[in-house]
Chains A and B, each alone.
Chain A
């Protein structure tokens, strides 16, 4: 009984953290699908979102702060795309990826000024408080992460399925010239993809900061989205979500059980476990779990 309880508790923690990775991973994939570039600026947008909330929450309250922060970071991402990325269209994707890395570093240096030496609390209503559901103790913030991610993901998927701009983005991702021929502006698609990814990163950052707060090293958490997207298949939105959750759960299970089951793997194996899972999956499925080659007529 106790072992089952422990397992369920780790699962909930894993899904909570995993839903944050899923939001980040989704941002990577959205930008990748639109521009064929992996944007390494996501960690900076994540931190900007969390720090903005930490400064605003005291003034506007937590929830309003999240909304303002998401809008602000989306606008920031839009500006970055316009100023630094758009002029590079047509350059090799490697060059553009390096530029996003530069953007990341610059933004983080600036935002570090707003973090300071210590940990900043984001002012969330949950802290580390736990609730007991059917005898299982889970942190409220993990439930909040999961719930928020479900709502956000449903909204994102509805956007891509039903709205004019969502369809335009999918069209451009599949065949840029065909989309242009329909009157879709590819510049608009690039801009929207960055804004969406920025907004998603801001939400993720806020949830990363719940309970533990943010400091100058928190950005590293965003890198966990990388094994998540490789796992899910770089070009699959659903895969990003599945990959993010898988990484969260794998990490949490390793944290809970590895010391007992495989102590020889050392103290911090949980940190690298996402990469191990990624490698194993890639050996079996080179396109990731959900990566597509192409839909073709048989």
Chain B
């Protein structure tokens, strides 16, 4: 199990961004983490994967454990070796490298498993096999997301942290990516799925957390979240006004904060 306990994160020594977040990702599950822009979702993933340092961020309280072992003081490479891989927001493929070179970089910590993992990734994403020797920068957005997923799988992770994999993709592609995540999970990889697209995330997650300004404000089985009135209104665009809004467009002041009180 991946567990986060009372986590506090500060940027630049002053900006308190996570204020005591706790969350459990049981082995084998898909857990969704929802929240608006700026809620702290990416920060939470950085704290888990050890990338806070790059951003002048620091865990000031609480802990992150993998199967009971604390990891929040480890370097990113050590965390990857323990079986936690992150797919960063915006995909971050290495645009100047070929598809295969991107994947090989993903396998940096598992040099012995490269051949087997390449096979596995190409089976999951046949389009990457086709474009194997092509430069990654010329892939489409959807293909780049697949490459980012495939690259993370090259490290043979047990836990996969996904940061808004649906961002900027057309609805049909969002469904493709969702199905691929479900397939990866079926192959035995535990997934923590950060999304603003709540409908997509909750359709494959067993459990969901809602993060707002650095706090978990809701924590329920996915089915209940889907039925929750606030979630329906603000995350799924099924509110009283009936407009099909994306959560990304909702202004903070418009949102009801019943769950805060």
Contacts and interface: CB of A to CB of B under 8 A. Distances in A.
A181 B46 CA distance: 9
A183 B92 contact: no
Interface stretch (B28-36, B74-82, B226-234): B74-82
B106 interface: yes
Given A164-B108, A295-B96, A297-B139, A180 B77 contact: yes
Interface in A163-204: 164, 167-168, 170-171, 174-185
A294 B95 contact: yes
B17 to A, nearest CB: 17
Nearest to B106: A182
A250 B139 CA distance: 41
B216 interface: no
A164 B109 CA distance: 10
Given A164-B104, A167-B104, A180-B54, A292 B96 contact: yes
B96 to A, nearest CB: 5
Given A182-B106, A183-B76, A297-B139, A170 B88 contact: no
Nearest to A165: B108
A184 B80 CA distance: 9
A2 interface: no
B108 A295 contact: no
Nearest to A164: B111
Given A170-B97, A180-B76, A183-B155, A297 B51 contact: no
A65 B88 CA distance: 48
A170 B102 CA distance: 10
B106 A297 contact: no
A41 to B, nearest CB: 26
Contacts of B75: 185
A296 B88 CA distance: 18
Contact of A179 (B81, B105, B155): B105
A189 to B, nearest CB: 11
Contacts of B135: 295
A177 B80 contact: no
B97 A180 contact: no
Contacts of A167: 97, 101, 104-105, 108
Given A182-B155, A295-B135, A174 B97 contact: yes
B106 A295 contact: no
Interface in B64-96: 75-77, 80-81, 85-86, 88, 92-96
A292 B80 CA distance: 31
A171 B97 contact: yes
5 contacts: A174-B94, A181-B92, A183-B155, A184-B77, A184-B105
Interface of B: 49-51, 54, 75-77, 80-81, 85-86, 88, 92-97, 101, 104-106, 108-109, 111, 135, 137-141, 151, 154-155
Given A181-B49, A182-B106, A296-B95, 19 more contacts: A167-B97, A168-B105, A170-B97, A171-B108, A176-B54, A178-B94, A179-B105, A180-B50, A182-B105, A182-B151, A183-B80, A183-B81, A183-B155, A184-B77, A184-B105, A295-B135, A297-B95, A297-B138, A297-B139
